[in-house]
């Protein structure tokens, strides 16, 4: 019996991830069709968190590949252990072995270093493979990734083809710094994550911040939603909300309206540039607080 | 298994999505059938999100999906939702043909003739027929306002498209010559030196790949620019076609992302479609607003540190000059160079006195004329140095 959407929601909830209906459906579909899931959305909406929660919910390992400009197969797939190879060559040569035999020996599994992609397809239990910020990698790497995601096998010239032992659950995230290829998009299921609405964010704060009460969580969520509507350079994400909630809880604040001073001072948790900080003056802060109440 | 009627309906939905520019292939439809056959199909609340995750590939797909889904499954019989820019789908082209768009829709012949009525001398020059390269050369120097003859117009457009390609070719060549950075490729070095007992005798090097310049063009298509629009649209098509990383936007009172439409291989169709979009209402330009939209929704995706931004506009802004200045300042921080092409510079005695232009100038790296092909060609060495 395949997993149902509710099962996935419940499992995610049990590891502290508050899923909305749409993301739960997308994750169910991913399970059902065995296709990778591409997550897009603003920075800080919790794209990476989805993969982490998914791994925790299934109780499997999370293998993460952080993409960057210039990422190549050496760093993503496999690398030979050069130091050991060099030592082996010299040791064997001293022992009088011939070159062919040495070559055979040093290009074997023993000298192979797994990198995330190779590791992900060689685990006996299917892990969650998170390919983070895939838009940062080059087009060439994207094409390679596409090949891996459809065949689930890689060929290592010195060693031969390695087939996947298990098919990992693959989650890709993109911040949209570059347009991804149509081929990759078509290969994946797509989900766009928006900032959570006030109720869901309040729930997230409640679940993730120990010892916070429901009224404060709701106030915080409303305040953050109001701050996001301001014209800021860097819009605060969910992680910032949680930081702020933790700070306020730590300062023993129970009602935002009672302590405008504390609110203003702790806003640094939400505002990460000098400009935004200058924009969010005491007056603006109080106006927003007024709305929240 | 899904009933035949449901399967038909689903195929119809897939077709509707394709008509709206979604890239829906057989694989997606097959997967969708599988979803329909699963328990999820029993509950509409999970069917919609499931099909959305399956059929959408981009954020704009995502945003339009609900509307199309509701219209199709809850029976408003809508075939195409016209919101924002049409993407690369083929439907718009068909619509163009159906609408019997006359040649004049391209904008140029009609308008230029009207404008150059009182300008006997240049008109005579434009009518002159010479063949081959000399004609091309002459065309390159003529102000685009004064190109009247349909053949000349076609020739100008072809030149513009070729110019864009030449720019690209030269840029790449220079990059390769400039490329000296090398580092050691350990994997291949070891492989090669097994027979030397692992002592690296023959070294394998790796070249550093230099990523090409990315070009983003914002074209002003307002009434005051209408004499030049058709020509720049053609140039835009050339740019998007030639540069692997290029994005094009058109704005008058609002901003439209037009690269998908321009990627059409059929030049005439792409240019025609875009010319229609570019036909402003002849009203004012809101450069500041358009740049704000660009900064807010597009800049992060299309601009990186090796992007040159090219704005083609006469700088007549009916919006707030302060806003324009502020948005320019934001843009400046994001990209490598800002080039402002202004067709008016080619006019005699032009000084950038429009208030919008004045507000924008401090943030512009290169302020150059663009009234004829020569002035565009003069840009190429500058771009190559970036």
Q: State pLDDT tens for residues A181-237.
A: 888 888 899 999 989 999 999 999 999 888 888 999 999 999 999 999 887 878 899
Q: Which residues contact A265 (CB under 8 A, 6 or more apart)?
A: none
Which positions in chain A touch B304 (Cβ < 8 Å)? Answer: 177-178
A59 to chain B, closest Cα gap in Å: 24
* Helix B4-19 × helix B59-73 angle, to 10°: 130
Residues B350 and B278 both lie in one domain:
yes
Residues A186 and A203 both lie in one domain:
no
CB of B142 closer than 8 Å to CB of B126: yes
A176–B301 CB contact, under 8 Å: yes
CA angle A261, A265, A267 (to 5 degrees): 120
Query: How many Cβ atoms sit within 10 Å of the Cβ of residue A42?
Result: 16
B46–A21 CB contact, under 8 Å: yes
> What is the structure's pLDDT at A39?
94
Rounded to an integer, what distance in angstroms lies between the CA atom of residue B372 and that of residue B63?
41
Q: Which of A9-23, A46-60, A102-116, B301-315 has the lowest mean pLDDT?
A: B301-315
Q: Which of B336, B168, B273 is nearest to B259 (CA)?
A: B273
Q: State pLDDT tens for residues B311-362.
A: 988 888 878 888 888 889 888 888 878 888 888 877 766 777 778 888 888 8
Chain B touched by A29 (CB under 8 Å): yes
Chain A touched by B289 (CB under 8 Å): no
Residues A132 and A230 both lie in one domain:
no
Residues 211-230 of B with CB under 8 A from A: 211
Q: How many domains does chain A have?
A: 2
Burial B78-115 (b: 16+ CB within 10 A, else e): eebeeeebbbebeebbeeeeeeeeeeebbbbbebbeee
B348 to chain A, closest Cα gap in Å: 41
Instruction: Tell me if B60 is assigned to some domain.
Output: yes
Chain B touched by A5 (CB under 8 Å): yes
Quote the pTM value: 0.63
Residues A153 and A269 both lie in one domain:
no
Q: Which residues contact A133 (CB under 8 A, 6 or more apart)?
A: A66, A67, A68, A173, A174, A175, A177
Asked which of A192, A214, A247 is the last residue of a domain, the reply is A192
CA atoms within 13 A on the CB side of A192: 15
Tell me the residue range of the domain where B119 lies: 93-178+211-386
Instruction: Tell me if A250 is assigned to some domain.
Output: yes
Instruction: Tell me if A170 is assigned to some domain.
Output: yes
B25 to chain A, closest Cα gap in Å: 8
CB of A68 closer than 8 Å to CB of A137: yes
Q: Which residues contact B98 (CB under 8 A, 6 or more apart)?
A: none
Residues B116 and B241 both lie in one domain:
yes
Tell me the residue range of the domain where A70 lies: 5-77+115-192
Chain A touched by B62 (CB under 8 Å): yes
Instruction: Tell me if A254 is assigned to some domain.
Output: yes
Chain A touched by B56 (CB under 8 Å): yes
Residue written as token pair 């329909």 = B36
CB of B286 closer than 8 Å to CB of B319: yes
Which positions in chain A touch B57 (Cβ < 8 Å)? Answer: 182, 185-186, 190
Rounded to an integer, what distance in angstroms lies between the CA atom of residue A73 and that of residue A234?
33
Residues A145 and A181 both lie in one domain:
yes
Residues B78 and B103 both lie in one domain:
no
Rounded to an integer, what distance in angstroms lies between the CA atom of residue A263 and that of residue A275?
18
Which positions in chain B touch A90 (Cβ < 8 Å)? Answer: 197-198
Residue B130 sits in a domain whose CATH number is 3.40.50.410
Element (H, E) at A142: helix A139-151
B35–A21 CB contact, under 8 Å: no
Residues B127 and B219 both lie in one domain:
yes
Return the percentage of chain B with pLDDT > 90, whole number: 0
Instruction: Tell me if A103 is assigned to some domain.
Output: no
Residues B315 and B371 both lie in one domain:
yes
Chain B touched by A21 (CB under 8 Å): yes
Residues B245 and B314 both lie in one domain:
yes
> What is the structure's pLDDT at A221?
93
Q: What is the mean pLDDT of residues B189-209?
A: 73
Q: State pLDDT tens for residues B30-80.
A: 888 888 887 766 676 778 888 888 898 888 788 888 888 888 877 654 444
Asked which of A192, A223, A242 is the last residue of a domain, the reply is A192
Residues B153 and B255 both lie in one domain:
yes
Instruction: State the DSSP code for A2.
Output: P
Residues A181 and A253 both lie in one domain:
no
Asked which of B210, B228, B261 is the last residue of a domain, the reply is B210
Which positions in chain A touch B18 (Cβ < 8 Å)? Answer: none
Residues A184 and A165 both lie in one domain:
yes
Q: Which of A5-9, B21-25, B261-265 has the lowest mean pLDDT?
A: B261-265
Residues B195 and B320 both lie in one domain:
no
Q: Which of A99, A182, A192 minimises the CB distance to B194?
A: A99
Residues A165 and A25 both lie in one domain:
yes
Residue A70's region, left for phi above 0, alpha for psi from -120 to 50, else beta, is: left
Residues A143 and A273 both lie in one domain:
no
Which positions in chain B touch A138 (Cβ < 8 Å)? Answer: 211
DSSP, collapsed to helix, strand or coil, labels residue A78 as strand
What are the CA-CA distances from residue B345 to residues A22, A178, A235, B263, B351 (Å)?
Answer: 54, 34, 40, 30, 7
Residues B275 and B384 both lie in one domain:
yes
Residues A213 and A288 both lie in one domain:
yes
Q: Which residues contact A118 (CB under 8 A, 6 or more apart)?
A: A77, A78, A154, A162
Instruction: Tell me if A91 is assigned to some domain.
Output: no
> What is the structure's pLDDT at B220?
85
Residues B203 and B341 both lie in one domain:
no
Q: Which of A119-133, A270-284, B194-208, B214-228 has the lowest mean pLDDT?
A: B194-208
B54–A29 CB contact, under 8 Å: yes
CB of A50 closer than 8 Å to CB of A40: no
Rounded to an integer, what distance in angstroms lies between the CA atom of residue A46 and that of residue A52?
10
Q: What is the mean pLDDT of residues B265-279?
A: 68
Q: How many domains does chain B have?
A: 3
B37 to chain A, closest Cα gap in Å: 12
Q: State pLDDT tens for residues B82-107.
A: 333 333 333 333 333 333 333 333 33
Output Rg (C-alpha) for chain A, integer angstroms.
24
Q: Give B120 or A80, the one with higher predicted confidence.
A: A80
CB of A251 closer than 8 Å to CB of A262: yes
CA atoms within 13 A on the CB side of B110: 8
Residues B287 and B150 both lie in one domain:
yes
Rounded to an integer, what distance in angstroms lies between the CA atom of residue B271 and that of residue B92?
12
B23–A74 CB contact, under 8 Å: no
Residues 69-108 of A with CB under 8 A from B: 69-70, 74, 79-80, 82, 85-86, 89-90, 93, 99, 102-103, 106
Dihedral angle sign, alpha carbons of residues A165, A167, A169, A171: positive
Residues A50 and A178 both lie in one domain:
yes
Rounded to an integer, what distance in angstroms lies between the CA atom of residue B62 and that of residue A176?
14
Instruction: Tell me if A100 is assigned to some domain.
Output: no
Output Rg (C-alpha) for chain B, integer angstroms.
25
Instruction: Tell me if B88 is assigned to some domain.
Output: no
Residues A281 and A188 both lie in one domain:
no
Q: Which of A267, A190, A198 is nearest to A234 (CA)?
A: A267
Instruction: Tell me if A134 is assigned to some domain.
Output: yes
Instruction: Tell me if A131 is assigned to some domain.
Output: yes
Extended beta strands in chain A, E state: 37-40, 62-66, 78-80, 112-114, 128-132, 153-156, 160-163, 169-174, 189-192
Residues B161 and B245 both lie in one domain:
yes
Residue A45 sits in a domain whose CATH number is 3.40.50.300
B292 to chain A, closest Cα gap in Å: 11
Asked which of A192, A227, A252 is the last residue of a domain, the reply is A192
Element (H, E) at B321: helix B321-334
Residue A211's region, left for phi above 0, alpha for psi from -120 to 50, else beta, is: left
Rounded to an integer, what distance in angstroms lies between the CA atom of residue B385 and that of residue A272?
35
Q: State pLDDT tens for residues B360-379.
A: 888 888 888 877 777 777 77
Residues A132 and A66 both lie in one domain:
yes
């Amino acid at each position: 019996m395949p997993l149902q959407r509710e099962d996935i929601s419940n499992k995610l909830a049990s590891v502290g991830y508050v899923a909305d209906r749409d993301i739960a459906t997308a994750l169910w579909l991913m399970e059902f069709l065995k296709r990778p899931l591409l997550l897009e959305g603003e920075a800080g909406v919790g794209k990476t968190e989805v993969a982490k929660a998914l791994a925790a919910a299934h109780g499997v390992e999370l293998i993460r590949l952080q993409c960057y400009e210039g990422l190549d197969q050496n760093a993503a797939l496999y690398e030979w252990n050069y130091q050991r190879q060099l030592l082996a060559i010299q040791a064997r040569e001293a022992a009088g072995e011939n070159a062919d035999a040495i070559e055979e020996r040093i290009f074997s599994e023993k000298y192979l270093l797994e990198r995330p992609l190779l590791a992900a397809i060689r685990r006996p239990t299917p892990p969650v493979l998170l390919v983070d910020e895939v838009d940062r990698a080059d087009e060439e790497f994207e094409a390679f990734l596409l090949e891996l995601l459809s065949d689930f096998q890689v060929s290592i010239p010195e060693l031969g083809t390695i087939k996947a032992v298990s098919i990992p659950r693959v989650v890709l995230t993109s911040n949209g710094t570059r347009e991804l290829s149509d081929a990759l998009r078509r290969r994946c299921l797509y989900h766009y994550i928006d900032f959570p609405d006030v109720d869901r964010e309040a729930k997230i704060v409640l679940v993730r911040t120990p010892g916070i009460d429901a009224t404060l969580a709701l106030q915080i969520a409303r305040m953050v939603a109001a701050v996001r509507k301001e014209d800021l350079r860097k819009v605060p994400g969910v992680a910032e909300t949680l930081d702020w909630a933790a700070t306020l809880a730590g300062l023993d604040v129970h009602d935002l309206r009672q302590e405008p001073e504390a609110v203003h001072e702790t806003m640094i948790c939400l505002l990460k540039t000098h400009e935004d900080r200058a924009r969010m003056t005491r007056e603006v802060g109080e106006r927003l607080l007024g709305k929240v109440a | 298994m899904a009933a035949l009627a449901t399967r038909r309906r689903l195929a119809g939905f897939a077709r509707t999505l394709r008509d709206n520019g979604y890239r829906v292939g057989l694989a997606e439809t097959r997967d969708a059938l599988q979803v329909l056959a699963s328990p999820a199909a029993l509950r509409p609340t999970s069917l919609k999100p499931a099909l959305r995750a399956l059929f959408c590939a981009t954020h704009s797909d995502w945003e339009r999906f609900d509307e199309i889904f509701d219209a199709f499954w809850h029976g408003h019989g809508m075939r195409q939702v016209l919101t924002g820019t049409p993407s690369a789908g083929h439907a718009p082209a068909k619509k163009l043909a159906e609408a019997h768009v006359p040649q004049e829709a391209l904008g140029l012949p009609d308008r230029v003739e009207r404008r150059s009525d009182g300008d006997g001398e240049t008109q005579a020059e434009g009518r002159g027929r010479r063949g081959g390269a000399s004609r091309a050369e002459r065309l390159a120097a003529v102000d685009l306002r004064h190109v009247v003859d349909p053949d000349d117009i076609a020739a100008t457009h072809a030149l513009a498209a070729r110019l864009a390609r030449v720019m690209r070719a030269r840029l790449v060549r220079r990059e390769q010559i400039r490329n000296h950075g090398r580092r050691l490729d350990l994997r291949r070095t070891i492989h090669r030196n097994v027979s030397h007992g692992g002592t690296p005798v023959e070294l394998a090097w790796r070249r550093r790949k230099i990523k090409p310049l990315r070009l983003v063009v914002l074209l002003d298509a307002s009434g005051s620019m209408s004499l030049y629009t058709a020509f720049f649209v053609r140039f835009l098509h050339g740019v998007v076609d030639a540069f692997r990383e290029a994005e094009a936007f058109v704005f008058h009172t609002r901003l439209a992302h037009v690269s998908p439409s321009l990627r059409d291989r059929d030049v005439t169709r792409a240019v025609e479609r875009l010319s229609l979009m570019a036909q402003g209402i002849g009203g004012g330009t809101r450069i500041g607003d358009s740049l704000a939209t660009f900064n807010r929704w597009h800049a992060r995706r299309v601009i990186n540190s090796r992007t040159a931004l090219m704005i083609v506009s006469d700088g007549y802004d009916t919006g707030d000059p302060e806003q324009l200045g502020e948005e320019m300042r934001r843009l400046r921080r994001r990209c490598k160079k800002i080039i402002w092409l202004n067709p008016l510079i080619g006019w005699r005695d032009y000084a950038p006195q429009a208030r919008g232009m004045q507000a924008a100038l401090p943030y512009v790296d290169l302020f150059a004329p663009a009234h004829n092909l020569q002035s565009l060609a003069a840009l190429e060495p500058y771009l190559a140095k970036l």
